[in-house]
Amino acid sequence: MNPNWEESLNHFERMIDSGTESMRIKAVIKLSKLSNQAPEYIPSQTIPILSNLIADDSSNNSSPLQGLVVHCLKCIARQGDDGRLATEIGQSGALCSILRLLPQSNASVQKICLKCIWCLVNLCNENRLIVAMNGGLEIIVNMLSSSMDGVRRYLLEILSALSLVRVVRRGLVSLGGLRFLVEAARVGNMLSRERACQAIGLLGITRRVRRMLVDLGVIDVLMELLRVGDGALKVVAGNTLGVILANIDYIDLVAQSGAIPLFAELIQGSESVGQEIAEDAFCLLAVGEANAVVIAEHLVRILREGNAESKAAAANVFWDLSGYKHTVPVIRNSGAIPLLVELLSSQSNEVRETVSGAIAQLSYSQADREALNESGAVPLLLDLLHDDSEELKDNAAEALINFFDDTLQHETISQVVDHPSFRSMQNRLGRIRGASDNQTVSSMRQMNIDQAEPTRVMQAYIEDQVLASSKPLCKHAL
């Protein structure tokens, strides 16, 4: 039978207001059991009552009512839509009372408090700031330092949720809590590990903290997430690993940990941002010539076997890498050039645009021009001058201008020197070369890897993900 909710609410209020300790306990227990059945407005109206009750009783560490009230608030927080009741609990002052109670309580009540805080910070972003601004970070870090095995998972997952708040990330460094954030990325719920990974990426943007994170073993943790995470987590882990790669001292460490095949998997994945992150990571890893050889092998395989999107991404990496002097022979020796030329005839416009860009960049090397010519690139490039895509025409014109300087191709290409795209590109390249004091390579796309800072794609992705990280952990997981 459905109870009369209004009458039940009035009875609860009377018991709390004037009942004995035993009557109060029974009333709170009953509310905990019925909170998942009552219409949302009923538990909502009990929140101020429970908040006052725990605030009034917070100085009495031996009261059995404390743990029951906190448990009841946790039950209420898990009800309702969009964490609305969890938000109300935070705004009522109950969360601050629970924080004051936490370090003073016995082990049993501490566990109840941590479960409640876990729910409140995972279901409501505003509650994270309340915890952070009321000494919650210090309490959590101190408890983790005490090696509390029975509640460690709750502590770590609370920490990962809090770490999405900027003031918490700053405090973690000064409190010596970075090691716990790395631990939070290693264990626990996958969404919690993802949040910790995002926070690590944001913290790792600065060189000093990046060094501290590497010393704490973060590379191994990120590699594990790249292997076992779902699609979203792999993207976040790959992005954070890319932030670590922004320091040239760690490139070999990351490569030796087996990152290159995993980034190749990201390029073949369905997430476009994952492909961009893997492209950036490959450009950083390829600073080492041995790494560039391995990367080229994976990219050649993708050019042969991948779908249109992954082929375009692989060609884009070759386009970038062909701007490094030490990788130009690596690309030529990898067997990529015949595949790139073949893909100029692809049905995918995206593939043809990135492939033509890579070929345009490769055409600055005489040895690569010979390889491109042997693979039949020139007739295809001449055809692309008549394509509807402006980017394709520009890329083809840039490559043909470089071929025009070769005696063997001069006569063939002289037929198109009056083509508008050819003349326009010739003028642009002339201006670029004049402004660059005759540098060895002056293409329309120059690579400029800043070894001190993460790439724009990586940094922007981390910031976007933090703003989007309002999704809660499963409300009934605990």
* pLDDT of amino acid 434: 61
Domain boundary among 97, 117, 134: 134
Profile the chain (478 residues) by mean pLDDT over runs of 10 residues: 80 90 93 90 93 74 82 92 90 95 90 96 95 95 87 95 94 94 94 95 93 96 93 92 91 94 92 91 92 95 94 93 87 94 92 94 89 90 87 88 76 71 70 55 45 49 48 42
Look at the chain and count its residues: 478
* pLDDT of amino acid 412: 72
Taking the CA atoms of residue 144, residue 149, residue 150 and residue 152 in that order, the dihedral angle to the nearest 10 degrees is 40
Q: Is residue 71 part of a domain?
A: yes
Residue type, 253: L
Q: With left for phi above 0 and alpha for psi between -120 and 50, is residue 310 left, alpha or beta? A: alpha
* pLDDT of amino acid 459: 52
> ∠ CA(353), CA(357), CA(362), 5° rounding?
150
DSSP 73-99: HHHHHTSSSTTHHHHHHHHHTHHHHHH
SS3 of residue 62 by DSSP? coil
DSSP state of 473: P
Q: Is residue 373 part of a domain?
A: yes
CB 308 within 8 A of CB 346: yes
pTM: 0.83
CATH number of residue 112's parent domain: 1.25.10.10
Question: What's the CA gap between 58 and 269, in Å, rounded?
Answer: 52
User: Which tokens sit at 299?
Assistant: 């990219």
3-state SS, 238-271, equals: HHHHHHHHCCHHHHHHHHHCCHHHHHHHHHCCCC
Question: What's the CA gap between 55 and 458, in Å, rounded?
Answer: 45
Q: Is 448 exposed, middle or buried (0-12, 13-18, 19+ CB in 10 A)?
A: exposed
Q: Is residue 165 part of a domain?
A: no
* pLDDT of amino acid 442: 46
CA distance readout (Å), 463 to 239, 285, 305 = 11, 23, 34
Q: Is residue 52 part of a domain?
A: yes
Residue keyed to tokens 């030490």: 326
* pLDDT of amino acid 452: 39
CB 370 within 8 A of CB 362: no
Is the Cα dihedral 233, 239, 242, 246 positive or negative?
negative
Question: What's the CA gap between 327 and 306, in Å, rounded?
Answer: 22
CA distance readout (Å), 266 to 232, 262, 277, 286, 462 = 11, 7, 8, 17, 17
* pLDDT of amino acid 423: 72
* pLDDT of amino acid 316: 93
CB 239 within 8 A of CB 205: no
Task: Please give the residue range of the domain that contains residue 330.
Answer: 300-435
Question: What's the CA gap between 314 and 412, in Å, rounded?
Answer: 30
CB 165 within 8 A of CB 202: no
Q: Is residue 38 part of a domain?
A: yes
Contacts of 102 (CB under 8 A, 6+ apart): 110, 113, 114, 117, 139, 143
Residue type, 452: A
Question: What's the CA gap between 310 and 16, in Å, rounded?
Answer: 64
Q: Is residue 193 part of a domain?
A: no
Domain boundary among 134, 164, 181: 134
Domain boundary among 99, 134, 169: 134
CB 419 within 8 A of CB 397: yes
CB 372 within 8 A of CB 361: no
Q: Is residue 428 part of a domain?
A: yes
Q: Is residue 376 part of a domain?
A: yes
Per the structure, the count of domains in the chain is 2
